[in-house]
């Protein structure tokens, strides 16, 4: 059986981090992580802004081995939140997107033909799940509510109390590493898509939902924080005029979120959308065209007039609808 090399780290976290200093949130807590960084640790994004409640929930997962699910709308930074916490704790992190193409075999492993002394031999190629469970890894299942049924039943095995993974094909039972941690991100709370935004999401077996110890909700940032994040991402887009433009972009994004919550429109602008809009503005040097290319062209024709009105309220400019 062939597998990825094991991660060389102490069996347990060997370094304490001050939560307030490390994550910029008001807290007297400390959390354990690793002193040394490996290749599996994500890069630190110095501009990332941590939500206090979500951060403390995720830190509980790292410190106390709790299984944490983070739920929220698209573009709120759910996966990145976990990844950036892992980056600062020097904790190796692996993300697996559970789209419809990921199967049980992809997770567990499969037989592969290899050359051995010039001869073709069949050898079991270990998947990411068995490898992760045997290493000090924070495993993140992205789009957890989009996973296929066969995949969800595999995951349910490691959600049991002892967290053991049985590989029937290999006659093996794998015990989890002391520093293995499990996280998931979802757009829904396991009840299926009730908004029309997330086609392809499934209802999650409530017996499986019960096995997740913590369900944290990550909402969009406060407008002032979102503005700071976007400014930090753009780098050379400076000057009072541009800064005012970014503030109005954030204001427009919030109008779409309120409109979505009230049922006026069926889509909304995430922070990711606002960053893309600002980046496209740098390319095209035209506020209206970059807005159309980034967001408006993706909207329902019936709702474009409402969104154009939001735009006019923020920028005092009219959009000519085609």
pLDDT digits (tens, 9 = 90+) for 17-72: 999 999 999 999 999 999 999 999 999 998 888 989 999 999 999 999 999 999 98
For the stretch 100-150, pLDDT in tens is 778 888 888 876 777 777 777 777 778 889 999 999 999 999 988 877 888
Separation CA 246–CA 227 (nearest Å): 7
* pLDDT score at 286: 94
Model confidence at 201, pLDDT cuts 50, 70, 90, reads: low
Complete DSSP assignment for 192-246: --SSSS-TT--BPPHHHHTT-SEEEE--PPPHHHHHHHHHHHHSS--SHHHHHHH
* pLDDT score at 194: 47
Helix locations, the chain, DSSP H: 19-23, 52-64, 78-88, 104-108, 128-133, 149-158, 206-209, 223-234, 240-261, 271-284, 287-294, 304-315
pTM for the whole thing?
0.83
Average of pLDDT values for 161-186? Answer: 87
* pLDDT score at 275: 92
- What is the pLDDT of the chain when averaged over all its residues? 87
Separation CA 140–CA 123 (nearest Å): 27
* pLDDT score at 321: 83
Q: Which two tokens stand for residue 15?
A: 């370094």
Please report how the helices 271-284 and 240-261 are oriented relative to each other, as an axis angle in degrees rounded to 10: 140
């Amino acid at each position: 059986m062939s597998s990825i090399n094991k991660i060389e780290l102490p069996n347990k976290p060997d370094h304490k981090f001050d939560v307030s200093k490390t994550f910029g949130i008001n807290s007297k807590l400390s959390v354990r992580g690793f002193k040394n960084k490996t290749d599996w640790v994500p890069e630190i994004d110095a501009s990332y802004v941590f939500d206090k409640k979500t951060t403390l929930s995720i830190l509980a997962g790292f410190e106390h081995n709790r299984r944490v699910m983070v739920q929220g709308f698209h573009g709120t930074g759910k996966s990145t939140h976990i990844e950036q916490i892992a980056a600062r704790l020097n904790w190796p992190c692996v993300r697996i997107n559970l789209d419809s193409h990921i199967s049980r075999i992809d997770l567990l492993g499969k037989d592969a033909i290899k050359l051995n002394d010039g001869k073709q031999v069949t050898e079991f190629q270990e998947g990411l799940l068995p490898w992760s469970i045997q290493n000090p890894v924070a495993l993140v299942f992205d789009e957890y509510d989009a996973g296929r049924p066969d995949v969800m039943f595999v995951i349910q095995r490691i959600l049991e109390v002892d967290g053991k993974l049985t590989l029937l094909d290999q006659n093996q039972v794998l015990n989890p590493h002391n520093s293995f941690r499990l996280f998931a991100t979802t757009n829904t709370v396991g009840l299926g898509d009730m908004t029309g935004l997330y086609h392809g999401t499934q209802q999650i077996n409530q017996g499986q939902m019960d096995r997740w110890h913590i369900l944290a909700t990550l909402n969009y940032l406060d407008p002032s924080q979102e503005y700071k994040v976007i400014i930090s991402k753009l780098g050379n887009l400076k000057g009072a005029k541009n800064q005012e433009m970014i503030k109005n972009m954030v204001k427009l994004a919030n109008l779409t979120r309120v409109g979505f919550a009230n049922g006026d429109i069926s889509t909304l602008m995430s922070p990711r959308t606002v960053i893309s809009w600002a980046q496209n503005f740098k390319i095209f040097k035209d506020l209206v065209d970059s807005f159309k290319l980034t967001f408006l062209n993706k909207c329902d024709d019936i709702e474009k007039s409402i969104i154009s009105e939001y735009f006019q309220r923020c920028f005092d400019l009219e959009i000519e609808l085609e």
